[in-house]
Structure formats: C-alpha cells, structure tokens
C-alpha cells in the first residue's frame, strides 16, 4: 500500500495585475526585493541551509519534454503554520496547474492556473478550510525565482508570493473569503537542509495509472523546519493574530492523475528536543514515496536517517476513524508510525481526534470527486538506540499532515464501518 523554457511573461495578464501587486515588474515576472524580518534579532550562527527561492519546477526547461500529458502538470508550495502563543495551527498552500494552458482532456481535469488553499484551527477552537481557484486571471509565476501573483482586479481575493534573495526568505500574502495573511517564511533550522541525502527531492515515476513514461511525482521537503512571522486574520470574527511561530515547507510537483490515488503524511519538528520527523506515504502504486526522514541531535551534531517501507523499515496504521458528512468520506483520527533500522527504533503517535477539515473544490469534475483532509495533530514519539537500548530522544509538538482520497458516493458509514474500510487499506506492516 502506498500513499499520496517558457517565459513567465507568456503566462500572465500583467497589465491587469500590475495595479494589484505593488513592487511587481510586469515586464519580467519578478518582484523587487523586500525587507522582511528586519526587526528580528539574529540567532546563533548556523549553516546557510538550502536555497528555497528557485523558480517553479513546472515552468523550468528541465520539465518540458513535449509530453501529451503536459496539461496535467501541477505544483504545490505548501506551508505549515504553528504558533502556540497565538493559538493557531494550520497551513497555506499555493498551487499552479496546467501553466502552459493546454486544453486537452487531462488539462480540463486539473484546476487551471493559480490556486490557494487555507486551513486552520483558530484560537477559539473553530476549524475552517477554503480552496480558491483563481484560474489564469491575473496569473503570474516565475521560472527563475519563486514568485507568484493571482487574483482578478475586480475582487478583493488574491494570492501573492514574493522572494527576497538577499535573505533567502519568502513573503506570503493573500486574502480569501475566510482569511487574510501577510507572512514571512524563513528557514528556522538551516542545519536540517545541508544534508545531501535526507529532506531532499524524492521522485517516483511508478505511482500513476496512466502512461508510465509521462506520469511522475516529486516530493521535496525543501525547508523541513521554518520560522513564520507576520499577521493572519480570521475574517469571520475580524480577529487579527500576530504570529511568531514555526512550521514546515514542502514543494511537490509533477504530472499525476491524483484523483486515482492519494497520500497520507504527517510532520513535526521539535527543535528543543533536537528532532525533526517527517513521514510520507502515497496510496496504492508508489513504493519510493513511502518513507520517513529523521534528524536527531546527538553529541553536538545532527544524525540523519531515512527509513523506507520497501526495505521493511517503516510501518503505519490508523486505529481510529470517523465519518465526515461534508466530504462524504472517512478520515483517520490518528496514526501509529514505527520506523526501525540497525541504529534506531522510532515510535510515533499522530493524535488527530476531530481536528481535521476537508479541503473540497468544484473547479473540475476530478476535484469534485476528491477530498484532501487537512490534519491538525499533536505528534509525539521516542527515538531508541538499538545498540544500547537507551531512549535518546523524546519529542512532541503541534504538527501537520494530510489524508487524501476519493470521496464516497455511498451511504454514511459508522466508525466501525470506516475502520473496516480504511484500517487494512491504509496501512503497512510494522518493522
């Protein structure tokens, strides 16, 4: 079982968007450098970490190969936001789809152009989620730098991503019906992204059910632990939150009929405990994308480990389930994830409970039949040295994750029926 050379000028309505986006150069599709986090005191010197400002992969020359499935191309840049002091945990995702505007069969099944997804649990305990498809109206994305702008001039809704190359930071701005945000994201633990083998892009070309020569997906945990500052507004209550928290950034891209599969993942970073834990699985066909990347601070240095299900080193299961009437599908309440190799045994529990929200879209027939559950869990676990038997780390914290699958068109299920439906299918043998 497994989880979920074109110039940007050719992709934008620059004259329409320019009045909406201050600082944006409509002729080049790039943005002026911004001064962000300038008032934040410098922390102790760390490695520079990974550059996270390169252009969108699906717009780059390496992606273009005249595939007949090019209209099915899409790319996520996904940001978790956790701030215990402000009382918010959630995520903001930016998506570009079919950026070269092909009107083939598959292109009509992806939510074309620019999209944004926002979900979170607010300080008052309410949970909200929202998905907005802007299409090509006001769409601008960079093939050289990680910039994005979208939103019709006649609407207050928009999404914008502005890179600051001088500081390797991203400014995220946007507004939907439910939320507005102005956030700066930077690496919060740069030492995690200097390793050449862990938290790096992982590619699988065997997870799809269409043409194996054309269908592929890439998962890049580009900044495993981030610092997130700025403001986030709950427009339902006009509550403005000032954030200074942490999170996780993942960039994923490729050509994949996602509605024929799905994914299941969770992430937590506990910097105080010296542990970064990131678990990925993709349903049904993939095996390469079933893995856990771990970093643990030991003896003054980070020890990086990867555990793969295909090698018998990683297993998981969901013990609890519930029916979500809005999504007409079952969603897990938890996950137990166990990883083991010759050096470590890592046992983790992902406690979701009722803290999840369905992300739904009616942009296309494919998205109408699909649901991405955004999870707001607490993740806790231990790392045991298998040679000595000592527990060398205990970690916990607000984490994030998703569970994505096709929606059900059948009758509502009880918790027991959900468990019978999902427990065996969405699991892998424990090591």
Q: Taking Cα atoms as reference points, which of 301, 299, 294 lies closest to residue 344? A: 294
Instruction: Count Cα atoms within 13 angstroms, Cβ side, for 251.
Output: 16
Q: pLDDT at position 236, please?
A: 95
Number of domains in the chain: 1
Q: Which long-range contacts (CB under 8 A, 24 or more apart) does 59-67 make?
A: 59/6, 59/8, 59/11, 59/96, 59/99, 59/141, 59/142, 59/143, 60/5, 60/143, 61/5, 63/253, 64/5, 64/6, 67/214, 67/255
Query: What is the CATH classification number for the domain harbouring 174?
Result: 2.40.370.10
Domain membership flag for residue 431: no
Q: What backbone torsions phi and psi does residue 118 show, to the nearest 5 degrees?
A: -130, 130
What is the Cα–Cα distance from 206 to 133, expressed in whole angstroms? 29
Q: pLDDT at position 106, please?
A: 67
Q: Taking Cα atoms as reference points, which of 384, 66, 74, 76 lies closest to residue 255? A: 74
With H, G, I as helix, E, B as strand and everything else as coil, classify residue 35. Answer: coil
Domain membership flag for residue 40: no
Q: Which long-range contacts (CB under 8 A, 24 or more apart) does 23-29 make?
A: 23/162, 24/140, 24/147, 24/149, 26/140, 29/140, 29/141, 29/142, 29/143, 29/147
Domain membership flag for residue 47: no
What is the Cα–Cα distance from 395 to 266, expressed in whole angstroms? 14
Kindly report the pTM of this predicted structure. 0.88
Domain membership flag for residue 427: no
Residue 144, classified by CB atoms within 10 Å of its CB into exposed (0-12), middle (13-18) or buried (19+), is: middle
Domain membership flag for residue 190: yes
Nearest-5° angle of CA 42, CA 45, CA 51?
90
Domain extent at residue 198: 8-30+52-422
Domain membership flag for residue 37: no
Cβ atoms 279, 266 nearer than 8 A? yes
Domain membership flag for residue 268: yes
What is the Cα–Cα distance from 282 to 207, expressed in whole angstroms? 8
Distance of alpha carbon 248 from the chain centroid: 8
Domain membership flag for residue 216: yes
What is the Cα–Cα distance from 428 to 267, expressed in whole angstroms? 18
- Average pLDDT across each block of 10 residues of the chain; the chain has 431 residues. List them in order: 35 31 32 38 66 95 78 93 97 94 73 94 96 93 96 84 96 96 97 94 83 82 98 97 98 87 95 98 89 96 97 97 97 98 98 96 88 97 98 98 95 96 93 97
Q: How many CB atoms lie within 10 A of CB 228?
A: 25
Pairing of strands 148-150, 344-351: unpaired
352: left (phi over 0), alpha (psi -120 to 50) or beta: alpha
């Amino acid at each position: 079982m497994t989880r979920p050379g074109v110039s940007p000028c050719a992709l934008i309505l620059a004259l329409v968007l320019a009045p909406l986006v201050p600082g944006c150069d409509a002729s080049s599709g790039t943005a002026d450098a911004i001064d962000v986090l300038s008032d934040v005191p410098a922390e102790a010197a760390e490695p520079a970490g990974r550059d996270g400002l390169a252009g969108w992969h699906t717009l780059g020359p390496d992606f273009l190969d005249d595939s007949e499935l090019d209209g099915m191309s899409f790319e996520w840049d996904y940001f978790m936001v956790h701030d215990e002091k402000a009382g918010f945990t959630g995520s903001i995702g930016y998506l570009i789809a079919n950026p070269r505007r092909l009107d083939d069969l598959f292109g009509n099944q992806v939510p074309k152009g620019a999209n944004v997804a926002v979900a979170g649990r607010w300080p008052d305990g309410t949970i909200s989620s929202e998905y907005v498809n802007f299409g090509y109206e006001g769409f601008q994305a960079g093939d050289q730098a990680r910039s994005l702008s979208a939103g019709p001039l006649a609407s207050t809704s928009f999404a914008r991503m502005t890179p600051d190359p001088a500081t390797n930071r991203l400014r995220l701005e946007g507004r939907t019906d439910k939320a507005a945000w102005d956030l700066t994201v930077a690496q919060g633990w740069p030492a995690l992204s200097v390793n050449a083998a862990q938290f790096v892009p992982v590619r699988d070309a065997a997870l799809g059910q269409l043409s194996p020569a054309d269908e592929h997906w890439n998962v890049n945990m580009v900044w495993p632990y981030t610092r997130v500052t700025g403001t986030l507004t709950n427009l339902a209550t006009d509550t403005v939150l000032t954030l200074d928290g942490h999170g996780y950034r993942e960039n994923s891209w490729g050509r994949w009929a996602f509605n024929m599969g799905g994914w299941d993942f969770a992430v937590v970073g506990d910097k105080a405990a010296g542990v970064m834990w990131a678990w990925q699985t993709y349903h049904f066909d993939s095996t390469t994308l079933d893995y856990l990347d771990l970093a643990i601070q030991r003896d003054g240095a980070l020890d990086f480990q990867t555990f793969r299900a295909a090698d018998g080193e990683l297993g998981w299961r969901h013990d609890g389930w519930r029916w979500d009437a809005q999504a007409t599908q079952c969603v897990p309440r938890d996950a137990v994830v166990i990883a083991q190799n010759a050096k470590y045994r890592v046992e983790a529990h992902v406690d979701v409970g009722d803290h999840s929200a369905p992300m739904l879209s009616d942009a296309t027939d494919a998205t109408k039949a699909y649901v991405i559950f955004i999870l707001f869990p607490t993740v806790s676990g231990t790392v045991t040295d298998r040679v000595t038997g000592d527990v060398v780390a205990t970690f916990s914290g607000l984490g994030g994750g998703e569970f994505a699958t096709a929606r059900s068109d059948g009758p509502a299920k009880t918790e027991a029926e959900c468990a019978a439906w999902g427990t065996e299918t969405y699991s892998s043998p424990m090591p």
